[in-house]
Amino acid sequence: MPLSATDEIVDAAYSGTSGVGAFNTVQIEHAEAIVAGAETAGLPVILQISENTARYHGSLAPIGLASLALARGANVPVAVHLDHAVSADLVREAVELGFHSVMFDASKLPYDENVATTREITDYCHRANVWVEAELGEVGGKDGAHAPGVRTDPDEAVAFVEATAVDALAVAVGNSHALLTRDAVLDFELITRLRTAVGVPLVLHGSSGVDDADLAKAVTSGMTKVNVSTHLNKTCTRTVRRCLDAHPDTADPRKYLGPARAGVADEVARLLRLLAHN
């Protein structure tokens, strides 16, 4: 199947008031698991690579090209997306590699600087027919920098989308990155207000900290793209630990990464079904 465009996947979910899963890969086993899980569920998926992951691999190309190849070989629609880029150079690299979408994160800047910087990125990306996500109202937890109580203001969100021409907006509604427990308290009424006001798909970052019932409620309240990273990392690491505890003399990493990949694939399939059936 040809590489799918992110806007086609997201717009279909947005118009149908369902949700679509966007899962972060750290290594090729993650990417393989995300595609396998989507194929099992028979549902489209967005495979994401963060700036932190690109830095881990030394550049975007190794994991980016592998992810693009997996997406092109899938039998369901798979889009490849750059997540949480703060570097304009990395955005340009993603576009040159063939990514169909990027998330540019200038949310830590003052509002006017966020608008100006994001607009420059959007103009560049739209000339290349690349879809752009941005963030307003800093979502806490990235690199340990929690921002408790921060919420995206609907009026400011409308002005931001109009000024930047972004295609989707990540919002702060009680979510936080890198949570190890699934007990985040979301503001569902705010999600609905933002959905009604903004006019572009909303993105829920930090979804690993949200339990199943509230993920489903977030979608019915107005969220479209739901990002998951830490939850899959926990699944992967838990499986690896279990394998090594049972077989402490194991030397071949395929003996524990293979089961971890299968476990992540199962969880991807489960979450995709949860998000899509609302």
Query: Which CATH number goes with the domain that contains 143?
Result: 3.20.20.70
Residue 1 belongs to some domain of the structure: no
Mean pLDDT, rounded, for 233-254: 95
Mean pLDDT of the chain: 89
Say what angle helices 88-97 and 61-72 make with each other, to 10 degrees. Answer: 40
Q: Which two tokens stand for residue 210?
A: 């949200």
Q: Which pLDDT belongs to residue 143? A: 40
Counted domains in the chain: 1
The better pLDDT of the pair 139, 36 is held by 36
Contact (CB, 8 A) for 229 and 208: yes
Mean pLDDT, rounded, for 205-220: 85
Q: Which pLDDT belongs to residue 150? A: 72
The better pLDDT of the pair 246, 205 is held by 246
Residue 244 belongs to some domain of the structure: yes
Q: Which two tokens stand for residue 48?
A: 């994401």
Does the structure show a pLDDT above 50 at 133?
yes
CA distance 228 to 47: 10
Domain ranges, residue 236: 6-276
Could you count the other beta carbons within 10 Å of the beta carbon of residue 108?
13
Q: Which pLDDT belongs to residue 174? A: 67
Does the structure show a pLDDT above 70 at 42?
yes
Signed CA dihedral, 27, 32, 33, 38: sign only: positive
Residue 183 belongs to some domain of the structure: yes
Identify the weakest region by mean pLDDT among 17-21, 60-64, 132-136, 143-147: 143-147
Three-state DSSP class for 36? helix
Q: Which pLDDT belongs to residue 142? A: 47
Q: Which pLDDT belongs to residue 185? A: 60
Is 83 a residue of the active site? yes
CA distance 61 to 65: 6
Catalytic residue among 83, 105, 167, 214: 83
The better pLDDT of the pair 190, 138 is held by 190
